[in-house]
Amino acid sequence: MTGYVLGFEQLDATMIAVAGGKGANLGELSRIDGVRVPEGFCITTDAHTDAVAGDPALAALLEGLSRLGADDTKGIGGAVSTAPTGTWSCSDPDVMQLSGTGRTGPPVVSPTDGTLDP
């Protein structure tokens, strides 16, 4: 495991499986002279995997989806319509410090479509 939080400076284009496409690409862009990327971090796919493992309803949904073919739009739609909803959050500002990034400012989130596509 690489950890749950990695700074952009720790990421590059080879790390899509660790950070998703946005995280890996922001890490890569941050290395290019003349390209301005705000200081930031990425929550890793390990964090997501471990969070999902703690949610039996979501784990059951993903297991069911894994048995469906990509062309089974009706089955996928039915399964997704029963998906649990919620938000993972943390109100502790020390999370950034504990993550090993050294950052203590307010967290900023980049929305994702939930895929690991580049």
pLDDT tens for 29-77 read 999 999 998 888 888 888 777 777 777 777 788 888 889 998 999 998 8
The whole-angstrom separation of Cα 70 and Cα 76 is 8
For the chain, which domains are there? 5-86+94-98 (3.30.1490.20)
pLDDT band with cut points at 50, 70 and 90 for residue 84: low
Torsion, Cα of 43, 44, 47, 49 (10° steps): 140
Check: CB of residue 88 under 8 Å from CB of residue 51.
yes
The whole-angstrom separation of Cα 89 and Cα 64 is 26
The pTM (predicted TM-score) of the whole model is 0.55
